[in-house]
Every structure is written in C-alpha cells, then in structure tokens.
Structure 1
Amino acid sequence: MKKKLIWIISIIAAILVLFIIALIVKNATGESDDKNTYEVYKAKHESPLTMQGKASPDSVKSYLNNSSVGDYLYPTVSDGQSVVKGQQLISYDTSGNSRQQLVDKVNQAQEAKNQAPNDTKAQSELTKANDALNQFDKQVNDSMYASFPGKIDIIQSNEPNDGETIMQLISNEPQIKTTVSEFDINKLEKGKQVDFTINNNGEKGTGQIKKISELPTSYEDSLQGQGNAGGASGMQGAGDASDDGQAGGGGQASNPVVNDVGGKGNSNDASKYNVIIGNLSKPVRAGFSLDVSVKSNDIKLPPSVLTKDNYVFVVNKNNKIEKRKIEIKESDGEKYVKSGLKEGERLVKHPKSSLKDGDKIEVKK
C-alpha cells in the first residue's frame, strides 16, 4: 500500500515537472494558446491646445486737437460716457477753416468743365478738387465723431495744444490676445472656436479666432521699432488707426518703404505668433488674464496600427475585424487621420499578416 502511494506521488510529480517545462518552453518561444489575441488602440482626438492670454479692447482710437479742422472748443461728452457710432465727441469752431476755399475750388473746376466738356485737363482738375474736399470732410468727421460704439476716456479737455490727445474712444467689443509657438500654429485656423476661463473668478466662455499673425512676434517688434524711429505717431487699436490724419494739416500719407525684417532674438529660440480671439460670449475687462483652450479635431495614429498601405483593422463590438482603407495626412513626422476613421473606434495593434476581414479576435485586457 505504501509503495503504491509513493508510485502515485511520483507520477503526479512527473506530470507537474512536465507541465512546468512546457510553460517555460512556451514563454521562451512566445507561443500562445490563442493566436488571435491582440491589444487594441482606441482612436481619440489629441489633447486640447492650451495658451495664456490677456483681454483688451477690440479697438482704441485717440482723438487729437486738430487745428486744421478749426479752433478747439470743448468735449461734447463726459468721461466714462457710453457713445454710439457717429455721435459727436468734440466741438470745434469751424468758421475759420479752409473748407469754403475747397468748395470754391470745386465750383470753379466744375464751371471750367461745363465750358469744355471734352477737355481732359478740366476733368482732371475737377476730380482733384472733389478729392481734396472729400478728404477734408473725412478728416473733420474722424476728428469730431465716434468711429464705433464704445466708452470715453477723457485725457485732456482744457486747452490742449495742437496734436495733443483730448480723449480716447475704447471699443465695447473685448478681445483676447495670446501667442502660439511655431510647433502648434498649424493646429489653429481663422474662425475656429475656442474656450476660455477668466483666471480671477473662474468664469468660462467661448470665442473665435479672428486673426493669426503672418510674422512672428520678433519680426513685429522689429518693424514696430523701425516705425517709431521713422516718426510714426498716435495710438493704434487692434486694426483701427488712431487719428486717421487728424493730427496733421495736410493729411498726406508717406510712401511705402522696404523694412528690414531680419527679426530679433536668439535664432535657436522657437518663434511665437500673435493670435487675436474675438466674438467673446461674455464681456471681459481689459487686462484680465485668461486660460485659452482649443479643441483638436485631429486623430493621431501610432505606427503599430497602420499597415504599409494605410489599412487598419477595426474591431467592432462583437470583436470582429473590418479591414479598412483610410486616408492619412502627415505633420511634423506624425500621422493623422484625414478620413475614414471616427473617434472611439478600436484598432488592432501589430496585426499579423494572416489577419483578414471578418475574423473574430480576443482582446487583451
């Protein structure tokens, strides 16, 4: 009986040894009981692009004392007042300005044209006279009336010298100014929606990208410095001229010049580009700091899910395979889905050459 028990124990021990050896061999050779077991990758959009920005008015226009319009009298609005487009802001005594002389020149040129209807020189003189009158009227309008709705900031109302700022008109429309690096600029496009959070109170809102600068900030700083050295004057809003010629009597624009756009800064530094965000869903006080987030619509694919000819093996809810051709676009050495695949779909990683459409697989947990 004792010998029989020893014999049984020996057989069991031998079986265990053989089983352990089989496991070791299987692990060493990479064999699997189930050759159709795969890891999968779930397609997903890239993480949102985040930036930091500052709120500012959409436009700021400075109104200067312009003696060519007339003798300055007084502001017709008060500090902090809200105004509408076209509302008079400043009163001038225009009785002594040159408008009547310009009107007389138009009348004289018109009379000469009437006497010689086919005279090209007479027509040219009439055109010049009308242009001069229109330019003067535009200068008067720009110097006295609100160019857009906004709030008034009185700078100096008592006897300002010619060319000095009387007031500023600050647009009601807020915007966010931020920057994006050269590595992320291709992720942005004009009109794309963004989300923002106001840092000091946590309030959230949305906006749209209005402008992405063509030149990096280093180039813009260089050009601005050249402009200041060349006698540029007046405060510029976001795309709105500050005085439109009102500070000068002639209103004549200088000729275009060729600027040195060599830029500044270390050549090894990554370039940054200014981005303007407008159409904000809620007002933001100028100067407030914000966090800006731009959602990505791009799905990046790892090389492990793609075949050489851009096929993927999509796994449905029943773990069956669909071999699918998709379109790919490349950016900065990475591959992204152009068409043919949706977020959330599961893809086989490292598919074997034997895997085919309609196969059922096991998914590794």
Structure 2
Amino acid sequence: MDLKVNLGKDSYKIYIKQGLLDHILEHIEPLCKGKQVMIISDDQVYSHYGQKLTQQLSQCYRVGQVIIPHGEQSKRFDILPDIYHQLLAFHLTRSDAIIALGGGVIGDLAGFVASTFLRGVQFIQIPTSLLAQVDSSVGGKVAVDLPEGKNLVGAFKHPGAVFIDPLTLKTLDQRYINDGMGEVIKYGCIFDQSLFQQLLSYTSFDDLYQDIDEIIYRCVDLKRIVVEKDLLDFGDRLALNFGHTLGHAIEQYYHYEKYSHGEAISIGMVQLSLIAEKKGLTQKGTANQIKKALDLYHLPSVAHIPTEELKKAMALDKKNINQKLSFVLLKEIGDCFIYPSDLSFIDESREV
C-alpha cells in the first residue's frame, strides 16, 4: 500500500508494506542521487535494523552512522553540536542524504538536523515505532526540546519519502505498542468513529496485529488529508493536537521520565474531555468512552498533577499565541472542533 502527500514541490510518497526493509535499496536509490548517506538512529533500533540497512545501502553509497541513546532525553537541543560535528567529519554534502531510522524521537531529531545542516539536506523517514508510523513521520514537523518544554525549537522539513514496515513492531516492548495506540485512539476520537469502535473490538494485540497494516494506512491517510489542507499548523491541522496541550505539559513536568508521549496524550485526551463535559461543550460520557479504549491498551487516564503546576508548562507551549490557546475538543467521538481560550480553561479541574 502506498499514499502520496500532495504538497507541490514538497510532495512525497508513503510506502506501507510488511518486509519493506528487506528491499529498501530499490526504493531509496531513485531518490538519493548523491554518493553518501548518513543513518541517524538510536542504540536499540540500530541493534535490530542498522546492519540490514547499512549492508543494503553500502551497495550504492558510502554509509555513515550517528547512534544516540534511546529515549526522549536524547531529543535535546544541546545534543546538536556533536551530531553536526559527526556529519562534518563524515564530509556529508548537500547532495547527500540523512536517513532517520527509529521512532518519533529519531524522526524529529534527524529531521531537524537535516533542515539545518548546510541549510538543508535530503531527508528520508524509516519509522520503526507504531507512534512514528501512524503519526510523527508524516507531515514534516521536526523539532528538538528545550528544558522549558517540548518541541520548542523546530522547523518544517518534509521527507523525500516515508517507508513503513509494520514488521518492525514485533521487536517493540509492549509498552511502546500501547504508546502508539494512544495516537491511533486519538485519530478515532477526532475524525473516525468507526475506527474508534474497531479499536474497542480487539481482545488481544494478536487480533489487532492482523489488521495493523490497514490501521496504519487509515491513520496516515487521515493525517495526509489534514496536512494537505493546512501545511503550517494554523487551521485544520490543529485538530491533531487533541490531548497534546495537556500531554506535553505532563511530559515536561516529569522531565520526560515517567510517561511516554502516547501515555501523556492519553491522559490529556481524557482530562480535557472531562473539563469540556463540565462546561457543556462535549457530550456527557465521552471521556468515559475514551478511558474505556485506553484501558484496553493499558494506557493511563489520570496523572494526579495539580492544575496550577501544568499551567506553568502550558504558558510556554509553542501553540500559546498572544496568551491564547486553541484547545481541541470533541463534540462526541469522531467529531472535533477548535475552542480558543486561555489557561483558565483548565481551572475547572484541580488536578489532571
């Protein structure tokens, strides 16, 4: 299965196929016209797939590797100089390419490096986590974190292509399958009630995995539609932030150590919906429906953090424009809307 994100000169294709990594060179060779490629990956992912990718690419390219420790803590602004030095030592040029091999952290970090090194080099995404496959590898948003908050230094850098091999999910810890399901559930909540109901029907991950290609395709297609309408995240694309305004603040509160991204936005989706229900903006019982789905995939729905503490992080959110935030709320499952307000919106709840 494949899709095309139609963005004029920045258009690119997304390929979804089990076993795709075994034949990746035939897809990359037509895209990368330079003589060198640099793989950016983390220690865990590279141990699984790095040698396979390097062996294939070495048939046509001089191949280098930048390997960083896994985890959100590596998506720091202060890690950048060391990566740039490694690219310089490798003599990577503007005609060469960077390949992101990993989950959302690697995709964001490698994409930001590609957008800034030598004022921009070609960039290819090979997402290996469910979260990256259904969401972060598509759309061109790349960034690194500051101590004050997540993704505060970033750019729009569209990949030359995205290659999704669902077989990579078999090497993930179950926690990170569940983490990705937080984003999948989000898509059902904001756009697709039938997808949401489908996710409630599975009794085990084995059952889910039978349909994983189609689930990934559906989520990517939904994101493609939104990105084509709103490239720079000021209109329809804001809907993709459902749960993220609270979720990012929760991640930062715990210094990215307690909750994964998918876990944090899961809490955000439920808690924001509870607040919206109290205000009469969301259909009663919606938060409980979301919680029911999250429970199936062992995702949390409450963090017990004082609201006042989260507001400090939310004040620095990059989507906080002129002291206004665009909260993504649900009328009901599958039907979302944007609700402009300020930080007082979450005062309805003493803790999240």
> Which bin holds the TM-score, normalised by the shorter protein?
under 0.3
Based on CA coordinates, which of the two structures has the bigger radius of gyration? 1
Instruction: Give the structure-2-normalised TM-score.
Output: 0.21
Higher RCO (CA 8 Å, separation ≥ 6 residues): 1
More helix by share: 2
Instruction: Give the structure-1-normalised TM-score.
Output: 0.20
More strand by share: 1
